[in-house]
């Protein structure tokens, strides 16, 4: 049995940020992830300046593709809006691996199945024993499933379903584009260029609203692909995308109980308008680390619930952090 002060289940941005801060604070921890890293993660991979700042991320230190996106185009039925909002476009395949390695915590490949309380701590699959446990396993987090399900943090009406593809394709347009409510779609389509000849496209919507309309997300994927081909932004029909679900922020409850914490998607924290989940994952990870080190209680209030607010702030500030 391996004993450690803190076990973090899941090595995405939430888990890796938590591990990074814990190590800075001198708390011993390890990361468990069921996937071998680097691993694919469906995500548009847009990181806000605030999130980058919280992690002390600088372009010069980052060894992978890093593309500054300086403007966003939001398209609606009746017109389009351009917002200058500097964000960083990364590939999660590279970013998550780099973050986990940078944390300095051991990353062990292990799929967590069983958790039991023992004394003042936890035993995980009879292989790991810890005093504090952090659930950072995303939307299928076993810590959420086994210890927090009754809190109903992840509400059905806030569940997002998404199809996405990241593939090698020249970006015929250098900016980020979002198309909202196309043909009654309760969500949006996106087009996000990446560095080094990669492109990310996808469609995401509220699952329940889509079902209520007896609509099908695949129809919108097809519609979107056809539109990009017609614009000359795609050369041919794209390969089949991958699918994933996660939850937008619900009640303002900090999920902590008897030494167990939930962070990131496992707590359902993505912003309510754009479904931005990387920043809340990072922030909740950092806050959980501070709480475990006894510096502050674990709280989620003040966490941005709407991306529009930070977009507007960036617009007003017009200052770029590089």
Ligand X SMILES: Cc1cc2nc3c(=O)[nH]c(=O)nc-3n(C[C@H](O)[C@H](O)[C@H](O)COP(=O)(O)OP(=O)(O)OC[C@H]3O[C@@H](n4cnc5c(N)ncnc54)[C@H](O)[C@@H]3O)c2cc1C
Site residues (CB under 6 A) for ligand X?
9-15, 32-35, 39, 41-46, 111-112, 136-138, 140-142, 162, 164, 202, 204, 244, 246, 264-266, 270, 275-279, 281
- Min separation Cβ 102 and ligand X, Å: 15
Which residues make beta-bridge pairs with 210?
none
CB of 45 to ligand X, least distance (A): 6
Q: Whole-angstrom Cα distance, residue 316 to residue 153? A: 33
Nearest to ligand X of 201, 234 (CB atom): 201
| Percent of residues in the chain assigned helix, strand, coil, to nearest 5 | 30, 30, 35
Nearer to ligand X, 32 or 260 (CB): 32
Minimum separation from the CB atom of position 81 to ligand X (A): 18
Give the shortest CB-51-to-ligand X separation in angstroms: 8
Residue closer to ligand X by CB (options 88, 294) is 88
Q: Residue 293 in contact with residue 24, Cβ under 8 Å?
A: no
Output the smallest distance, CB 89 to ligand X, in A: 8
Q: Which is nearer to ligand X, 153 or 162 (CB)?
A: 162
Nearest C-alpha neighbor of 190 from the set 140, 224, 234, 148? 224
Token pair recorded at residue 108: 């062990």
For the bound state, the minimum distance from the C-beta of residue 78 to ligand X, rounded and expressed in Å, comes to: 25
Q: Which is nearer to ligand X, 160 or 232 (CB)?
A: 160
CA 232 from centre of chain: 30
- Least distance CB 3 / ligand X (angstroms): 19
Nearer to ligand X, 26 or 251 (CB): 251
Give the CB-nearest residue to ligand X: 277
Helices 278-292/13-24 angle, 10° precision: 30
Query: Which C-beta is closer to ligand X: that of 11 or that of 254?
Result: 11
| Angle, vertex CA 312, rays to CA 308 and CA 314, nearest 5 | 120
CA dihedral 24, 8, 45, 92 (to 10 degrees): 100
Helix (H/G/I), strand (E/B), else coil: 163: strand
Min dist. Cβ of residue 265 to ligand X (A): 4
> Which one, 276 or 290, has the nearer CB to ligand X?
276
Residue 186: which of 272, 71, 269 has the closest Cα? 272
Q: Where are the extended beta strands (E) located within the chain? A: 2-9, 29-33, 46-48, 67-76, 79-89, 107-109, 115-118, 121-124, 128-135, 159-168, 176-180, 187-193, 198-206, 242-247, 256-257, 260-262
Tokens of 69: 């996106």
């Amino acid at each position: 049995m391996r004993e450690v002060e803190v076990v973090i289940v899941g090595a995405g941005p939430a888990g890796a940020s938590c591990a990074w801060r814990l190590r800075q604070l001198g708390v011993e921890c390890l990361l468990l992830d069921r996937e071998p890293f680097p691993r694919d993660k469906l995500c548009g991979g847009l990181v806000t300046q605030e999130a980058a700042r919280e992690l002390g991320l600088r372009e010069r230190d980052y060894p992978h593709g890093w593309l500054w996106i300086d403007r966003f185009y939001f398209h609606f039925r009746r017109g389009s809006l351009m917002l200058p909002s500097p964000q960083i476009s990364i590939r999660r395949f590279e970013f998550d691996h780099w973050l986990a390695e940078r944390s300095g915590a051991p990353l062990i490949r292990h799929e967590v199945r069983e958790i039991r309380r023992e004394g003042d701590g936890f035993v995980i699959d009879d292989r790991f024993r810890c005093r504090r446990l952090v659930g950072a396993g995303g939307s299928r987090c076993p810590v959420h499933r086994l210890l927090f399900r009754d809190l109903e943090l992840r509400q059905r009406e806030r569940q997002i379903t998404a199809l996405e593809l990241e593939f090698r394709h020249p970006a015929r347009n250098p900016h980020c584009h979002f198309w909202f409510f196309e043909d009654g779609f309760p969500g949006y389509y996106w087009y996000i260029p990446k560095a080094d000849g990669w492109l990310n496209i996808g469609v995401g919507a509220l699952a329940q609203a889509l079902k209520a309309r007896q609509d099908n997300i695949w129809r919108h994927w097809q519609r979107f692909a056809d539109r990009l081909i017609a614009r000359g932004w795609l050369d041919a029909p794209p390969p089949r995308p991958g699918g994933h679900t996660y939850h937008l922020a619900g009640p303002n409850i900090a999920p902590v109980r008897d030494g167990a914490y939930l962070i990131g998607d496992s707590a359902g924290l993505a912003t309510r308008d754009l479904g931005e989940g990387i920043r809340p994952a990072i922030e909740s990870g950092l806050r959980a680390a501070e709480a475990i080190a006894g510096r502050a209680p674990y709280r989620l209030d003040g966490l941005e619930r709407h991306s529009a607010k930070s977009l507007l702030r960036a617009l007003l500030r017009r200052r770029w952090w590089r």
